[in-house]
Amino acid sequence: MCFKVNHQYCCYFIGVLAMILGFLEVAFKSEQIADSNWKMNSYWNSILLACVISWVMIMLGAVILIVGAFLKDRRLLLVWIIVALVFGVGLIILKIVIFTCFLFKHNEETHQLLFGSLTIVNILLVFLFVYYPYAYRHELEDEQYE
């Protein structure tokens, strides 16, 4: 184990963190979609709707991650890793599109700094979503062959 970290508990933490962040993002983006005009902002609403769908899939995957960590099932952990990679990278791309559209209208240094830092946080979050479940899956695989 790396730094004596229990990867099973890290998987629990990552699953709960993904559900909390997903719930917050879905609530915020859903409110934005509900308050906007669909006829005038159809492109913008499509991007926000894609973000909501991605977070819902990540939240469903988080439930699978928690169950997989509890049952020590490598296949369920693999499902989470694939879901986190696919939808996490998709969310990073969608966030870059959203921030680029916003920066096109409001080009200030503080907004650029916020955009850069939030992009780095999203990339680190996806890395953590994948790293610890992968390490736990690898640990379970090593235990199987011992």
The string of pLDDT tens digits covering residues 36-70 is 877 777 778 888 899 999 999 999 999 999 999 99
pLDDT, tens digit, for every residue of 73-97?
Answer: 999 999 999 999 999 999 999 988 8
Evaluate whether 132 touches 140 at the Cβ level (below 8 Å): no
pLDDT category, 27, cuts 50, 70, 90? very high
**Is the pTM value of this prediction over 0.75?**
yes
Q: Which residues contact 140 (CB under 8 A, 6 or more apart)?
A: 72, 74, 77
pLDDT for residue 1? 46
